[in-house]
Amino acid sequence: MRGLFVVDLGRRSYGDALDLQRQVARARIVGDVDQDVLLFVEHPPVVTLGRSSKAAHMLATPEHLRRQGVELFEVERGGDVTFHGPGQLVGYPIIDLKRHRQDLHWYLRQVEQFLIDALATYGLRGTRRPPYTGVWLDERKVASIGVHARDWVTWHGFALNVATDLRYFDLIVPCGIQAVQMTSLNTELPNATPALSSVAERVAAAAATLFDLVPQQIAESELMAAAHTVVR
C-alpha cells in the first residue's frame, strides 16, 4: 500500500519547520521514511526569499520587518519572495517523484490541481494563470507555491490563505508579480470561514486522491522516530 503520512505541526517557527522538513526529506531519500509525507504548519509572520528573488520585490527593509515582528529567510526553494503568517495553511509535501513521475513541472501542476480540487469543495473555482505558478480565484491569488527537490524527493510547498491578514503582502511584491491582488478564503467566504484544520483535511484528501495514495494521519513523534530524529 502506498500511503501519505499527514502530520499537523501546529504553530511552528519557520526555522524549526525548515529544519524538520529537511530532516524528513533526507530520511525519505534514503528510505528510512518509506511513504510520502505532507506536513501542515502555521507560521508566525515571516518573509521568505526563493532562488529567483529580486531585491526590487522587497518593499520593506530588514529593519522595518524586524520592527513589525516579521522574520526573513533566504531558502533553496524555487520562486520569488512570499509571505507566511497566522491564518495561512502552509503545506510541505515530501514526495518521492520516482514513485510518480520524475518531472518537476508536472509536479507543480499537480500541487496546483489538488489545491484547486480542495477549493472546489467550498464552491470556489480555482484557476491557473500561466506562466505564473499558483492558484487564483478570478484575478485574485489565493495560493502560492515554491518547491525544491533532491534525488527526486521534494520539499517546501504551498501557502493557502485562509484567514491571513493580507496587509502583510504590502511589504513585498508577492511572488514577483507586479500589482497582484491577494485574497483568502476568509475574504471569499465571509459568512462561512473554515478552520485551518478543516481546510487541511480537504487539502490532504485531494492530494492523496491525485497522487493515488492512502492518507494516514500520524503524530510528529511517529514520523521523526522513523526518520531516526529526536523531536525537539
Task: Output DSSP code: residue 51.
Answer: T
> The cell 529544519 sits on which residue?
19
Rounded distance between C-alpha atoms, residue 51 and residue 166, angstroms? 24
- 175 tagged catalytic: yes
Q: Quick one: cell of 217?
A: 494521519
Let me know: does 223 contact 7? Beta carbons within 8 Å. Answer: yes
Q: Which of 175, 185, 207, 223 is catalytic?
A: 175
Q: Quick one: cell of 27?
A: 530520511
**Which among 37, 52, 30 has a CA at the least distance from the CA of 157?**
37
Rounded distance between C-alpha atoms, residue 13 and residue 71, angstroms? 9
Active-site residue set: 175
